[in-house]
Amino acid sequence: MLGAAGCDGQAAHWIAGDPAAAASGQAGGGVSLPTGDPARAGTAPPQRVRIPDIDVDAVLEQLHLLADGSLAAPSGFTEAGWYADGTRPGDTGPAVIAGHIDSTHGPAVFYRLDKLRAGALVEVRQDGRWLTFRVTEVARYPKNAFPTARVYGPTPDPQLRLITCGGVFDNARGSYRDNVVVYAVAA
């Protein structure tokens, strides 16, 4: 069954983990949410994401944290969003791109994200060129056991995290129980 908008019908809580606590160093063993590279502050934000293996070609909007510290959801179901206060794709660290799994009208941009396999390519359009990443892992985590440090923690090289909801839709709670996270490295 398809769930309500995004993961739980509430944009403020559609992705697990606690970005506010992560940013303050209180979550996941003192990990901070990835921040942008000041040396690249003048570059354009990423504009599109393509994932050929699951037929995704979507506009990227800029996402920010809400007042409660959670990541805002993309405004539409056919677009994905990049965490604009974090790492830019291609810079050292994990750049975060999030998208809805479905809506009350059917599948959304990341509906098939859990079908990706290691080796699949993800491309991000930025500064007039396509940056290529290769998937290394696809994981599903219960929202109540989301590995904040592993997902948002520092990395020694440019990486990408694609995130959506997944698992079973809990009608009583009006949300999915899990998050799907795709890990990818610069190819």
**In this structure, is residue 134 part of a structural domain?**
yes
**In this structure, is residue 38 part of a structural domain?**
no
Arithmetic mean of pLDDT, 122-141: 97
* 52 DSSP β-pair partners: none
**In this structure, is residue 4 part of a structural domain?**
no
Residue keyed to tokens 């890990």? 183
Q: Is 186 helix (H, G, I), strand (E, B) or coil?
A: strand
**In this structure, is residue 34 part of a structural domain?**
no
Using the predicted structure, report yes or no on whether residue 115 has a pLDDT greater than 50. yes
Q: The domain spanning residue 134 has which CATH number?
A: 2.40.260.10
The model carries a pTM of 0.83
Q: With CA atoms as reference, report the closest residue to 131 among 160, 98, 164.
A: 160
- The structural domain count of the chain equals 1
Residue 15: predicted pLDDT: 58
Residue 178: predicted pLDDT: 96
1-38 pLDDT, tens per residue? 222 234 544 333 455 555 444 444 444 333 345 555 54
**In this structure, is residue 5 part of a structural domain?**
no
Residue 69: predicted pLDDT: 83
Mean residue pLDDT across the chain: 83
Using the predicted structure, report yes or no on whether residue 124 has a pLDDT greater than 70. yes
Residue 182: predicted pLDDT: 98
Arithmetic mean of pLDDT, 152-165: 96
Q: With CA atoms as reference, report the closest residue to 3 among 179, 174, 164, 178.
A: 174
The neighbour count for residue 31, using CB atoms within 10 Å, is: 21
Residue 13: predicted pLDDT: 41
**In this structure, is residue 121 part of a structural domain?**
yes
**In this structure, is residue 148 part of a structural domain?**
yes
- Structural domain including 110 reads 11-25+44-186
135-154 pLDDT, tens per residue? 999 999 999 899 999 999 99
Using the predicted structure, report yes or no on whether residue 176 has a pLDDT greater than 70. yes
**In this structure, is residue 31 part of a structural domain?**
no
Residue 26: predicted pLDDT: 41
